[in-house]
A and B are shown apart, each in its own frame.
Chain A
Amino acid sequence: MNFFLTIIVDGLIQASWLFIVALGLTLVFGVLKILNIAHGSFYAIGAYVAATVVTLVAAHRLPPSVGFVAMLFAVALIAAAVGLLLERGLLKMFYGRDEVVLLLVTYAVFLILEDVTKLIWGVNPIYATQPYELFGNLEFAGLYYVGYDLVLIPISAAIGFAIWFGLNRTIMGKIVLAVIHNEEMSVSMGVRVNRVYAFAFAFGVLLAALAGALTAPKISMQPGLSSDVIILSFAIVVIGGLGSVEGAAVGAILVGLARAASVHLMPQAELFMIYLIMAGVLLFRPEGLFKRETARRI
């Protein structure tokens, strides 16, 4: 029994931060129809910014809780600014072009940001673990878990619920949904689509960076951080359905559990399992688990 509980807890911890990254990716695709390759770079930037802020706070001998809060605020501010700047300064010039062009533009942004992070933070691994000790350790299913890891589960659930609520129960959310479903009709109804685009992209960037910040205290940041994340988050949104919040949640949990089960039961198949699930879903539901099939407009 404990064995299966361990797999579930490990899977949920893994799913928690992956869900936040995938949520940003799926939101940007839902609204802007952009497959944002640079999404992993925003995760990396969030992680690096968080580490810098935590280190600064620790240098001033302030408690780790201050570092934790400060890193979240700093990352939110920087990510929102970077997101708006990129959307207004670059992406909007390519709206209306083929989706492949936008894909290539975000790939170029990914390459540029990879080097920017190296220029700013160097190639050496850096870490800032002070917030990782914030919530102590807990014994669960016969194992010690770091409280911080477990706290990530309710945090990501709260973020997911807030976004679902915001999209489905608020006026602003309904406007965003209207743009997702039919952009032309939204424009004709007086919706300022450009603002929705800018907001959605900046929010997607913010989510990626937030996930980076939340994972920063437990990892050693080094170049290459972004590419791993983008591959996993793409797998999640493909499983769940591009543009679906519920899909991102289910996809993240499936990937997290599949990975945890593989490591415990069949370590050799760890990577294979994730793509096996993805292939299985695509075989039976090419649109992903939660994406509704839409009628083709002529």
Chain B
Amino acid sequence: MSNMILLGTRKGTVIFDRSNAGWVPRPIEHPGIPVCYAARDPRDGMLWASLDHGHWGPKLSRSRDNGSTWEDVSSLKYPEGARYIVKYLPTPDFDPEAPTGQPEYKDATVFKIWNLTFGSAEQPGRLYAGTIPGGLFVSDDGGDHWTLNRPLWNHESRGGDLFAGEATSENKWSGTPASIDYGVFEPGIHSIVIDPRDPQHMHIAVSSAGVLETTDGGQTWMGRNRGMLNDYTPEPESAWGHDPHFVMSCSGQPDHLWQQNHCGVFYSEDGAKKWKKVSQPDVGVHFGFPIAVDAHDGRTAWVVPARGDMERMAIGGGLCVARTSDGGQSWQSFNTGLPQENAYDIVLRHGLDVSGDTLCFGGTTGNVYVSEDRGETWQCLGNHFPPVYSVRFG
């Protein structure tokens, strides 16, 4: 059972400690600085925050003393020669049938460090970071130095090895609206899932491309989007072009993966070899951003349903959390303790987490809720936090 919750918010890092009085927030850290992700490394207790400075560029910040002091880490950078094929947000007069011209290349710089995932216990110091514009970075010294994973960056689905020269294949990766704040429309890696049985085995999720898998520690990557359906292209079952909002696995049954996608909730029980759509729009389970998975039972997951995708708000002005315990065949919706009128919260992709029987989520309107009974009843931890970007148990 975790005794810490970390929030990444628009105005800093909020840390809650569990005490006899319940969950108690500390004074905000990184005050005034947008923090798009904050988490605690369970291996060494290091606290991490991904700072999304509006002016000064993305930086990592870490605390070795449980949040008393923090140090900036500015070492995550794209190497010289890292390029990508520029994507543009389709304009109203965009014609998907129009012949494409020559690819336009751009030198890569970090826009956002969107996710930080800690390696296995057998790999002390190993960290992964997912970024916009779509690079996966690896550190083996606790974040002092970072290396771009080139096999993924050079993947044939992105045009091949652009370090070496011109594109040798078509770029299938598209942008994420989350990149528009930076004046671009580029892809981002927001989910990094490590197989606890074998740290060489990982899945990542890219908006907007889909899920990729490696079984050799990142030397080779394969698209894993079979069974996925997207509603917004002429080819819903295409190999690429999917928009996973978040992907997570069951740590005790790692072949059970869950995906809250732009186009529904998807579930795989065979390590993402095949996905199955398990949305139930009639009970509101379809659109949303985050998903949480039970640590022991791979058939149990939670989502925070939202009305999508044109509105992106709570459904009918009321918040609920839905849970399945049978692999998505049925969903149960819970709203006890959650507002049922005049609620317009949207919970972003890293805004929900589970630890044992305890769940917590926070939304863009600054409301934070916790449940100690597997999502069935909820209590509010506060209504006036800054917009919440991430919620993670420490």
Tell me, yes or no, whether A binds B. no
